[in-house]
Amino acid sequence: MIRRSRVSDERVEAPAARIECWCLHGAVGHSGDWRTLSALLAQQRIASRAIDLWRFADDASLSMPGFAAALHAEALEEPCRAGGRVLVGYSMGGRLALHALLEEHHPWQAAVIISAHPGLESESDRAARRAADREWAARAITSDWNAFLNAWNAQAVLGGALPRDEESAKKLAQHRQVIARRFIDWSLGAQAPLWDRLAEIQAPVLWVAGDRDAKFLDLARRAVDHLPAGRLAVVPGAGHRVPWEAPDVLAAEIRAFADLVTGS
């Protein structure tokens, strides 16, 4: 059963849950994007809470570390009803998750990072990405919304649109201003590269990439080498959008990882 919490988060309960996954969506996504995976996880006694990132809109210029601190505080306000909390982040959400794992005394027992980039290392690359994301931000505000979504999904790395019902698509459109703002604040070009800090993350991390997503698979392999407790999962036949291209495989990988983390 899905219930609303914190305005537009979605929580899926699981009987006798072994862990609870807090899930962070991508740059043009919302909490409902996790529903298929959440249902599969519930069958494995894994509860989930899909966070609506767009509700963190009170601060007009919320940084990625600022978001991490806010999420950390929010998690500490709630008792954990399972054996532990696992932070799951896809793409932009994966970068946010990395910042959360770098917070002191964070509440996450482990993390799953999917198709994410630890950071661009050259200032020229970061400048180019900031410029590109400013253009996406402008299009999110000024373009016809469907035209904006079509252009976003037409990027080769993404491989097409996500399956969304009409209600979900309309709700996403209501957030176009904060989505545009986060293209600026949470741009990969605005993010300090985290490569040298990955060794600080002591929590177990499962880093997931699709075997058809060559760029992000290379990044995943390199990132895992920097993590003290990192594990790599390569999903056969999947591209960048692993949670929607191969939800069954991803759910099985998370279940096995949860067994490892909890010792069950």
Helix (H) or strand (E) holding 177: helix 176-185
Q: What is the pLDDT of residues 178-188, one digit of tens each?
A: 999 999 999 99
Mean of per-residue pLDDT scores for the chain: 92
From residue 214, give the alpha-carbon distance in Å to each of 115, 209, 220, 237, 240: 10, 9, 10, 12, 9
Q: Classify residue 69 as exposed, middle or buried by CB count within 10 Å of its CB (0-12, 13-18, 19+).
A: middle
Beta bridge partners of 46: 19
Which pLDDT score is estimated for 87? Answer: 98
Q: What is the DSSP letter of 49?
A: E
pLDDT tens-digit series, residues 216-260:
999 999 999 999 999 999 999 999 999 999 999 999 999 999 999
- Predicted pLDDT of residue 5: 47
- Closest Cα partner for 21 from 33, 29, 11? 11
DSSP 90-116: ETHHHHHHHHHHTSTT-S-SEEEEES-
Name the residue among 187, 171, 185 with its Cα closest to residue 29: 171
pLDDT tens-digit profile, the chain (264 residues): 333 346 689 999 998 888 999 999 999 999 999 999 999 999 999 999 999 999 886 656 789 999 999 999 999 888 777 778 999 999 999 999 999 999 999 999 999 999 999 999 999 999 999 999 999 999 999 999 989 999 999 999 998 777 777 777 788 889 999 999 999 999 999 999 999 999 999 999 999 999 999 999 999 999 999 999 999 999 999 999 999 999 999 999 999 999 998 876
Would you state the pLDDT for residue 2? 38
What spatial distance separates the first Cα and last Cα of the chain, rounded to whole Å? 25
Q: Are 84 and 19 in contact (CB under 8 A)?
A: yes
Task: In whole angstroms, give the CA distance from residue 39 to residue 43.
Answer: 7
- pLDDT, position 232: 98
DSSP state at residue 203: S
Sequence-distant (≥ 6) Cβ neighbours of residue 199 within 8 angstroms? 226, 227, 228
Q: What is the pLDDT of residue 7?
A: 67
Tell me, what's the pLDDT at 170? Answer: 80
| Residue-level pLDDT at 51 | 96
Domains recognised in the chain with CATH numbers = 2-122+194-262 (3.40.50.1820)
E runs forming strands in the chain: 2-5, 9-12, 19-24, 46-51, 85-90, 110-114, 205-210, 230-235
C-alpha to C-alpha distance for 206 and 34, rounded to whole angstroms: 18
Element (H, E) at 199: none
**Alpha carbons 107 and 70: distance in angstroms, whole number:** 12
